Amino acid sequence: MRLRTGVKGFDDLVAGGIPRGFMVAVVGEPGTGKSIFSIHFAWQGVMDGQKVIYVTTEESRESIIAQAQQFGLRFEKAIENKRMIIIDALLKDKSDRWNMIELTIEELLSKIIEAKKELGYGDARVVIDSMSAFWLDKPAMARKYSYLVKRVLNKWNMTIIATSQYAISTSFGFGFGIEHVADGIIRFKKIVKGWELKRFVIVEKMRQTPHSLRVHEVEIRDREGMVVKGPVSMSKEEVVLPEKVVEGVKRGILRKSLEETLMEG
């Protein structure tokens, strides 16, 4: 069984969705779209009747709710209806039961399991945004922590998206911790092209899946959210010309080569 991500155009890249029970790493530089991808994934879980647990370490709960709201995704309603719990690991304030005081793997796992019990029986989606926050000052632990999270949460019918944002120097020094353990890697990229910021996504790994090997352009649109567009190596004409025009051009070329053949004959 595959889980739809809720990101327009993305599921086609992974044969319909992310296999249930997987832990998938969503990686990329700041501002590339990791959290927005995660927000869509979380919302699709609510839509598909699953329980959703969203751990946020670099933004507050309110910030995640406000970001979702910009795309018309009503996280507050989902929380009210006990379909979703957002665990806030940023504010470290003890007044809310769903805040984390210490950024440790032990507390992370126990909060997630507590949240799952609260939400009740059934399949769950978990977002850990970001997972790299848990090994910031000890990058050598990345692999061990990732393995622990996967092994423990696997028993709870959870499908996990874990974002990771680390300096390249870190990954060189200590190996790709989460990336070996994860069942899939979705990488977001950004470049400035023609004085404009462009975003891209590539599925670098997805076990048990004949996934796309192409880099696809991504847009984040106000009110709509993330949309995956076509693969980037496609020529501009192919993307923008309506089918009729393309057909016409093809027919023209065909006619011309037919004429040439006849003339030669």
Q: At its nearest, how many Å lie between Mg ion and the CB of residue 226?
A: 13
In this chain, which stretch among 18-26, 31-39, 100-108, 243-251 interacts with Mg ion, using CB under 5 A? 31-39
Q: Which tokens in the block code for residue 193?
A: 């092209």
| Nearest residue (beta carbon) to Mg ion | 35
State which of residues 35, 57, 99, 209 lies at the interface with Mg ion (CB under 5 A): 35
Q: At its nearest, how many Å lie between ligand ATP and the CB of residue 244?
A: 32
Q: Which residue type is seen at 246?
A: V
Helix ranges (DSSP H) in the chain? 34-47, 61-69, 75-80, 105-119, 142-154, 168-174, 177-181, 236-240, 243-264
Q: At its nearest, how many Å lie between Mg ion and the CB of residue 28?
A: 9
Q: At its nearest, how many Å lie between ligand ATP and the CB of residue 223?
A: 7
Residue 4 or 190 having the CB closest to ligand ATP = 190
Residue 137 interacts, among Mg ion, ligand ATP, none and using kind-specific CB cut-offs from 5 to 8 Å, with none
- Which residues are CB-neighbours of 133 under 8 A, at least 6 positions away? 57, 58, 89, 103
Residue 50 interacts, among Mg ion, ligand ATP, none and using kind-specific CB cut-offs from 5 to 8 Å, with none
Q: Which residue type is seen at 147?
A: Y
Does 56 interact with Mg ion (rule: CB under 5 A)?
A: no
Residue 35 or 164 having the CB closest to Mg ion = 35
Q: Reduce the secondary structure of 209-253 to three states and give it as a string.
A: CCCCCCCEEEEEECCCEEEEEEECCCCHHHHHCCHHHHHHHHHHH
Residue 255 interacts, among Mg ion, ligand ATP, none and using kind-specific CB cut-offs from 5 to 8 Å, with none
Q: Which tokens in the block code for residue 102?
A: 């210490």
Residue 10 or 19 having the CB closest to ligand ATP = 10
Residue 28 interacts, among Mg ion, ligand ATP, none and using kind-specific CB cut-offs from 5 to 8 Å, with ligand ATP
Q: Given the structure tokens 């990686």, which residue do they identify?
A: 27
Residue 19 or 164 having the CB closest to ligand ATP = 164
Residue 19 or 139 having the CB closest to ligand ATP = 139
Q: Which residue type is seen at 166?
A: Y
Pairing assessment for the beta strands 225-231 and 216-221 based on DSSP bridges: antiparallel
Q: At its nearest, how many Å lie between ligand ATP and the CB of residue 136?
A: 13
Q: Which residues bind ligand ATP (CB under 6 A)?
A: 28, 30-36, 58, 70, 165, 220-222
| Nearest residue (beta carbon) to ligand ATP | 35
CA distance 17 to 6: 9
Q: Are 179 and 19 in contact (CB under 8 A)?
A: no
- Which residues are CB-neighbours of 128 under 8 A, at least 6 positions away? 55, 108, 149, 160, 161, 162, 163
Q: At its nearest, how many Å lie between ligand ATP and the CB of residue 186?
A: 11
| Residues forming the site for Mg ion (CB under 5 A) | 34-35
